[in-house]
Structure 1
Amino acid sequence: MRNRPNIFRLILVFCLCTFAMNAQSKKQQELEAKRQSILKEIQQINNLLFTTRKEEKSIITTVEDLNYKVNVRQNLIKVTNDQANLLTREINTNQKQITSLRDQLKYLKEDYAAMVVKSYKSKSEQSRVMFLLSSENFKQAYKRLQYIRQYTDYQKEQGEEIRRKTEKLQELNTTLVRQKKDKDKLVEENRLAKQRLEADVKEHEKLMASVRKNMSTYASQIKTKQQEADRIDREIEKLIREAIAASNKKAGKSETTSKGFALTPEAKALEARFETNKGKLPWPVRTGVIKVRYGKQRSSIDNTVEINSSGIRIATDKNAKVRAVFNGDVLAVQGTKTGNPWVLIQHGNYITVYKNLSKVYVVKGDKVTTNQDIGEVFTDPSNGECLLWFHIYKDSKFQDPSAWIVR
């Protein structure tokens, strides 16, 4: 049994490589899930934002849509690159494992061959009997018998270990071939993605060249839209504050010190269930992509103009049905002379808001259930755009809706 220290070192290397490979495989699965999610998002972007004829869309909408798609494609390329790089590391790890296994097999086979030769020379029963009978006492004879048995068992274990490592080596070789194919596929997909990205960027730049000629006009339009959005936000906040004050007055509580609604035990339980579903709420439409995210961001048309989004804007299908994301009570159905109606649904101290509707199926005071249709998204006849503005408030403070709906 030669080179035993070398075998132990090789086994240690093999174990470390196996641990690294398992960690990388988990990361690879996460990246693949992310890549598939992005591919699905790109498909939805194409279906929802680029099926309308170009002449029906305003130049601002087209630029915004292209900018959105470019960003998503860039993210896809990054994730695919990460996958390819991780696969390269996995391939290197597997190659190290294969080398280690081959060395282990070499030493094991040498050991096994030496044992076979030794066993052959002393294989006769007479030799074993003589080995036992030549013992000086019973204790020594017993120990020699134990040694014979252990040696025989060790031979069997070595043979089994050789079989296992041979199978593992074959498995690793198969995995290595698959990984190399997967990497080649990812590299090719990334090449095609970069080509599509380049085409999108060129189209985006072409449109932006046209926009720059009338930048002041377009910037003014964006600012006007933001001002209108801010005005509606203030109106909604005022409505919520008034509803909070009314509920506290009805409950005999101070209207000035109470920040939230005066809730019944049932309403408190509803709020608790709503909170436990953070990150798991259904989307307010069946299909859609988040075109404008929550928070402050620069306009894709003019980066000197800041957009402050108090919710998210979801591009969806024409005349898409809008759904309640959770059980609740319709707090208000409002609208303006110049704007489309919106619906507020109360879930304890949480309020979900669904704006830019063309039809409303509920009235104030209605009880709604999760996924119940409450209206339809407005389809802009000038450009075919269907955008649902979705907001979540706690009391009268904004929440990021994308953190609440299922990812």
Structure 2
Amino acid sequence: MKLSRFLFLLLFILSTSVAFAQSSSELKRKKEAIQREIDLLQRNLKKTANNKKLTLGQINALNTKIKLMQDKISVINSEMKNLDNQIHENTNTVINLKGQLGQLKKEYGAMIRFAQRNKNAYDKMMFIFAAKDFNQAYKRIKYLQQFGQYRKKQAGYIQGTQKDLNYKIVILDKNLKEKSNLLHEQENEKDKLGKNKSEQSAVLNKYSKQEKQFRQDIATRKKQQAQIDRNIRAAIVREIELERKRALEAARIAAEKAERAAKAKAAAATAAAAAKAKAENKPAPAAVAPVAVAKPKPSSSGYLAATPEAAKLSAAFESNRGALPWPVTSGSITESFGKHKEGQASYDNAGITIQTSEGAGVRAVFNGKVSKVGSALGRHYVLIKHGQFFTVYQNLRSVSVSAGDEVSTKQNIGTVATSGDMPELMFQIYRGAVAQNPASWIAK
């Protein structure tokens, strides 16, 4: 029973250690990813630090950086909570192991004293020969043998428990040091956050002085952006209309074929009936009317997925919702999908804005076909069709694909341009002509 309890305790220690390690490693990876985003935004902000004119990209980058720093502090708090749980578990384990070790040593000491009193071989022989019969003598021999083996096992249990105890004490010391380091890291992050909030206050103060010019700049930029978005939607609508015409033409051809087949079948039936009537010397029957064939009409939402290939591609794209790769290898979302307001200026974002590193490569997020490559305001955009879905990549400095090209997932299609002193990519997803929130489609 004692051995069973010991093994159960050991198994519990190992399982909790593994679970903690997995959770701890996930938090560390998350913290490192957040720090990479913070570093990228900091590099971009550093390059624009001396600019007298305030830009929307700078404000978005600063606000996003502060949010990420708060997220990092939350992750550190989660790490500390995990460590507190582990320290509590390890402390209880050390106490239990010490109690078990004390009990094992006490029992082992009693066995040693018994063995000392009966260490004389003569005493053992007398103990055996004092048996009533042969059967009892045999049992006494086996008892002496088992007693010796049990004593060795007990010594092994003591050594094993002592080893586990020493290991757990080392782990506990390591946990305490990690907690101390995390507390220090947390204090540093809070100091940095305080400085960044002061910087944010200075930027807002600067914004209040430039508010009129800033609103005008946003209005001009978003007016231009809205025109680009309208052009892209118009291209998508033209693509849908083209597919509609193709689908209707295919349906018309299929219906004509079916109608011809129905007429041929009716004619054959009429001829067979006439031949039978003639053979039976009966009047010729009336002609068999062909069966009416309904002309299929695809729904407007199904035009883009009317062919088996397009339907398969659409289904594959949709099945990857929440797991599509990012259109850049590193970056941070500084402007989310939907309506926004900066001071008195308001605007609508049909996608997300991702700040990335200067000259970063842009890649397709899924297999598809390039529908359009356009230019606006000295920059380029790429529209890629994925069945009934479209992805849009705006604000490109250069493009490496052309309309009609087939592209694969993560294939490079161009490089990011700098917009308002910040390297930014505007990324959009459409289902038909309806804009989707890309943040819910790309991997977290």
Q: TM-score category by the smaller chain?
A: 0.7 to 0.9
Displacement of 1:264: 3.9
Q: Gaps (5+ residues) in structure 2?
A: 252-296
Distance 2:431 2:143 in 1: 76
Change (3 A) 1:102 1:322: same
Name 1:293's counterpart in structure 2: 336
SS in 1 for 2:176: helix
Query: Which amino acid letter does the alignment assign opposite residue 392 of structure 1?
Result: I
Q: 2:424 aligns with which of 365, 384, 387?
A: 387
Distance 1:399 1:136 in 2: 93
Displacement of 1:335: 4.3
Query: Which amino acid letter does the alignment assign opposite residue 167 of structure 1?
Result: K
Whether the 8 Å CA contact 2:325–2:410 is kept in 1: the answer is: yes
Change (3 A) 1:149 1:310: farther
Displacement of 1:156: 1.9
Displacement of 1:234: 4.8
Name 1:370's counterpart in structure 2: 409
SS in 2 for 1:261: helix
My pick for the range that moved more, 99-108 or 270-279, is 270-279
Superimposed CA distance per residue, residues 127-178 of structure 1 (whole angstroms, 9 cap, x where no aligned partner) = 4444344444455445444433433332222111111111111112211222
1:344 correspondence with 2:344: no
1:316 correspondence with 2:363: no
Change (3 A) 1:12 1:320: closer
Q: Gaps (5+ residues) in structure 1?
A: none
Percent identity over the alignment is: 32
Q: 1:211 aligns with which of 207, 216, 220?
A: 207
Name 1:50's counterpart in structure 2: 46
Distance 1:120 1:39 in 2: 66
Whether the 8 Å CA contact 2:395–2:417 is kept in 1: the answer is: yes
Superimposed CA distance per residue, residues 81-117 of structure 1 (whole angstroms, 9 cap, x where no aligned partner) = 2222332332232222212211211111111111111
Displacement of 1:192: 1.7
Distance 1:335 1:202 in 2: 40
Return the TM-score normalized by structure 2: 0.77
My pick for the range that moved more, 112-121 or 223-232, is 223-232
Distance 1:59 1:271 in 2: 38
Query: Which amino acid letter does the alignment assign opposite residue 186 of structure 1?
Result: L
Change (3 A) 1:21 1:317: closer
Whether the 8 Å CA contact 1:357–1:375 is kept in 2: the answer is: yes
Which structure's CA Rg is the greater one? 2
Query: Which amino acid letter does the alignment assign opposite residue 293 of structure 1?
Result: S
Name 2:302's counterpart in structure 1: 259
1:325 correspondence with 2:321: no
Displacement of 1:373: 2.7
Return the TM-score normalized by structure 1: 0.83
Change (3 A) 1:308 1:174: farther
My pick for the range that moved more, 80-89 or 12-21, is 12-21
Whether the 8 Å CA contact 2:58–2:422 is kept in 1: the answer is: no
Name 2:190's counterpart in structure 1: 194
Displacement of 1:206: 1.6
Whether the 8 Å CA contact 2:60–2:335 is kept in 1: the answer is: no
Whether the 8 Å CA contact 1:330–1:364 is kept in 2: the answer is: yes
**Aligned ranges for residues 235-274 of structure 1 at < 5 Å?**
235-251=231-247, 252-253=250-251, 254=297, 256-274=299-317
Distance 2:300 2:367 in 1: 28
My pick for the range that moved more, 163-172 or 129-138, is 129-138
Number of positions where the alignment pairs a residue of Structure 1 with one of Structure 2? 397
Name 1:121's counterpart in structure 2: 117
Distance 1:289 1:100 in 2: 48
Name 2:325's counterpart in structure 1: 282
Distance 1:173 1:350 in 2: 57
Change (3 A) 1:60 1:236: closer
Query: Which amino acid letter does the alignment assign opposite residue 287 of structure 1?
Result: S
